[in-house]
Chain A
Amino acid sequence: MAITRRHFMRTTGAAAALSLASPMIARAAADTIKVGGLHDLSGALDLVGIPMNQVFQMAIKEINEAGGLLGKEVEGVVYDPQSNMSLYSQYATQMALKDRVAVVMGGITSASRETIRPIFHKFKTPYFYNTQYEGGVCDRNEITIGTTPAQTVARIIPYAMNLYGKKVYTVAADYNYGHITSAWIKRFVEEQGGEVIATEFFPLDVAQFGSTISKIQAAKPDFVCSAMVGSSHLGFYRQWAAAGMKEQIPMISTVLGAGGNDQIVLTAAEGNGILSSFGYFEAVDNPANKAFLERVKAEYPTNTPIMSEISECTYEGMMIWADAVREAGSTDRDAVLEVIAQGKTYDLPAGKVKIDPKTHHAIRDVYIAELRDQTFAIRESYPESQPADTQMVCDLIADPNANKHYEISL
């Protein structure tokens, strides 16, 4: 990457031995508050992980510039799990046991989250999961900031059906997220009196979509809903446009633009008109967002990362946690969680965000945007969307010891 890399103080096993021998290092460590960042910086998910990490560092810097936390400097501990599940597990244990971080931001896919969430629960390290996902986590120790299908899919389906019609064709990635999202799509379509003509699943490494495109043409839906994930699946949008289908059948997506890169990888011709729904777009118009985007540009002037829900939520996670620490007066997990559970409303770049005490998920503003000339333009916004899906299965007030990821069956 052309951006300047930063160095961080690393704590490894060897360093731990060193710190016993060298009192100076040990003393320095006690004077800072450590926050852990566990995002993929290499491997298949680096496209998403790197911007998240950049925002993570920026947030740390912002907190320190405002005077730190509780009189101490905040120090980031960053490990790169290299899109590898066993590394996730190892680094999570290391952060909790060896580095003793006060909080962790991280995990991208649901697989990685479910690997590290039980580890942090066991070792009582507060954990913020900032990625949009399929809903259902019931764990007091995890604050889930990202949007769930009940917030996004529930909005975009009626909107699209109003615009285009009632017959839908779904194409989705063949793994848990894709399956669950397509189940939600079906439910919301049917709730609105529509019909999902067919749902097709594609393994993540499939790059040829000719047969599906022909099948869609035969089925003649009113619009196509895509839950395709990853770089191979971008080929679908490309081949769709190449077949001349863009003018024929409109397309919406629950995933496109999630990581902030898709919109520039697709050309304008390929992307124009695709609708997407997330908790954040760069186009959101409020003072917090203006300041946020300015800071991102100042911090990373070359190759400025495009902000998406995932990266902006990482910022939200840091800020909400920092605020809770200040109010609680300590980094102790239970004190911090108690403050967060009070349900304060925060003014963040995405709009107003509140943490629901019942589920520790975010109640937030949700937007529908249209891709135009490689940027998203907001068409509709829905304030205070509840994470209704997780609320169906989880009540942390009644059961504070819950520690499970429910697969919400529809």
Chain B
Amino acid sequence: MERSLTRDPGFWIMVVIGLVLMIMGPILIDMFTIMQITQYVVLSVFALSLAYIWGFGGILSFGQAAFFGLGAYAFAVSSISMGDTTLPLVLSFVIPAAFGVALGYFMFYGKLSDVYLGVVTMVVTLIFWKLANHTAGPEYSIAGVRLGGFNGIPSIPTINIPGQPDAWLDPAQLFRFFMGVLIVVYIALRILIASDFGRISIGIRENETRAALLGYDIRRHKVIVFAIGSGIAGLSGAMWATYQSFIDPNAFSMEMSAKALIWVMAGGVGTLLGPILGVIGLQWLTLQMGMVDFLNSLVVLGAIMMVLVLALPKGLVPTFKSLGIAGWTLWRRGRGVSSGVKKVTSDD
């Protein structure tokens, strides 16, 4: 993507759609559906974190849930003990990001790559999961908040207006706030990707050796990319915790990491819109499956995944993009011939 960000129509369309949804949503749509959509928004932020580090940094993490869970638990513990949610939100970005720096340092300065990196991230998530499950007894508490083990931490406060712990957001306001976060994250990521730093990261993704030979410090870049992704994942974890008002070790589960991978994969690695669509599609499908009596939900989800991988290997958005471009080119070519305009060369 060499076009400058401000000239990219896709970017502006996304931002406008987001803003419209954010402002008009609660007015036009009923409260229950808004609460559903809020869930998609939260998980979209999570998906974006993996979409960024994988699609634009070349880091395939099998354990993005580690940071999701860290952010969620950090938020839960700090918001219950502090009573106000403003600082906890910040912490839910900072703490996972710090851990991302540490883990990134451990991995990238050790030259771990592709599948081995994946397994390390998976192992780290497994460790967190096991630890979180083990904290059932009363001796496991941080800042006075019981970690609760398998049952998790209930009664997490809803986001409140900074400084006024009793003025917490109602579902409509929460939706708007989360949409705002999603839009901000999206814009921030797009700016980052279009910047020099982002270009270098993409270069590293394409060919690490070449980038190194060109003089860039790959390890440092990757650590920073990874840490940013971790922070965003942590923030989404906090949003999840406050949305559900409870959090349990499932935030650290393999399943959570798997879902992130599926969303990005299905939506299209290397795009930001795709994973968001992946979230909406798959979450909606899971919800519908639970309400239907005659099909085993796992069978359907599994079948869909397999079909997606075999039929749409690049993911939804890139596939539709290429289909769209192919169609557009054919149309232009047809027009060009009949009106004597210079022929359009085929796209690549």
Point out residues on A near B: beta carbons under 8 Å: 5-8, 10, 12-13, 42-43, 78-82, 84-87, 89-91, 93-94, 97-98, 110-111, 114-115, 118, 174-176, 178-179, 203-204, 407, 409
Contacts and interface: CB of A to CB of B under 8 A. Distances in A.
B86 interface: no
Nearest to A117: B154
A176 B149 contact: yes
Interface in B124-165: 130, 133-134, 136-138, 148-152, 154-155
B297 interface: yes
Contact of A5 (B138, B286, B291, B294): B294
A42 B133 CA distance: 22
A143 B31 CA distance: 29
Given A89-B244, A111-B151, 12 more contacts: A5-B294, A12-B288, A12-B291, A13-B36, A80-B291, A82-B290, A82-B297, A84-B250, A174-B136, A174-B150, A179-B137, A203-B133
A39 to B, nearest CB: 11
22 contacts: A7-B294, A12-B288, A13-B33, A82-B286, A82-B289, A85-B152, A85-B246, A85-B248, A85-B250, A87-B290, A89-B246, A93-B32, A114-B246, A118-B245, A175-B150, A175-B151, A176-B136, A179-B137, A179-B149, A204-B133, A407-B138, A409-B138
Contact of B148 (A78, A89, A176, A409): A176
B62 to A, nearest CB: 18
Given A115-B246, A174-B136, A175-B151, A90 B293 contact: no
Nearest to B134: A174
Contacts of A93: 32, 35
A114 B154 contact: yes
B329 to A, nearest CB: 37
Nearest to B294: A5
Contact of A203 (B33, B134, B138, B245): B134
A90 B39 contact: yes
B32 A86 contact: no
Contacts of A175: 133, 136, 149-151
B1 interface: no
A174 B155 CA distance: 23
Contact of B152 (A78, A84, A111, A203): A111
Contacts of A78: 293
Given A6-B293, A94-B32, A111 B248 contact: yes
A110 B155 CA distance: 15
B304 interface: no
Given A90-B39, A174-B133, A111 B290 contact: no
A176 B296 contact: no
B250 A81 contact: no
A163 B6 CA distance: 81
A13 B148 CA distance: 34
Interface residues of B, number: 36
Interface string B317-328: 000000000000
Nearest to B287: A90
B293 A114 contact: no
B213 interface: no
A97 B32 contact: yes
B32 A7 contact: no
Chain B facing A: main interface SS: helix
A42 B298 contact: yes
Contact of B36 (A85, A90, A118): A90
B303 interface: no
A80 B291 CA distance: 6
Contacts of A82: 286, 289-290, 297
A91 to B, nearest CB: 7
B260 to A, nearest CB: 15
Contact of A79 (B245, B290, B298): B290
Contact of A7 (B148, B290, B293): B293
A6 B292 CA distance: 10
Interface string B18-51: 0000000000000111011001000000000000
Contacts of B39: 86, 90
A276 B303 CA distance: 41
A11 B298 CA distance: 22
Nearest to A97: B32
Contacts of B155: 118
Contacts of B245: 118
Contacts of B289: 80, 82
A12 B248 CA distance: 27
A276 B165 CA distance: 49
B177 to A, nearest CB: 19
Contacts of B133: 174-175, 203-204
B292 A176 contact: no
Interface in B169-220: none
A80 B151 contact: no
Contacts of B296: 42
B297 A80 contact: yes
B227 to A, nearest CB: 27
Contacts of B136: 174-176, 178-179
Contacts of A80: 289-291, 297
Most buried by A among B148, B250, B293: B293
> Quick one: which of A8, A43, A82, A110 has the most chain B CB within 10 A?
A82
A114 B297 contact: no
Nearest to B155: A118
Contacts of B287: 87, 90
Contacts of A91: 290-291
B135 to A, nearest CB: 10
A283 to B, nearest CB: 32
Contacts of A111: 150-152, 248
Contact of A86 (B130, B150, B244): B244
Interface in B245-278: 245-246, 248, 250
Nearest to B43: A86
A8 B293 contact: yes
Given A85-B250, A94-B32, A179-B137, A110 B151 contact: yes
A123 to B, nearest CB: 12
B289 to A, nearest CB: 8
B290 A81 contact: yes
Contact of A114 (B31, B32, B138, B151): B151
A115 B152 CA distance: 10
B32 to A, nearest CB: 6
Nearest to A10: B291
Contacts of B138: 407, 409
Contacts of B246: 85, 89, 114-115
A316 B200 CA distance: 66
Nearest to B247: A85
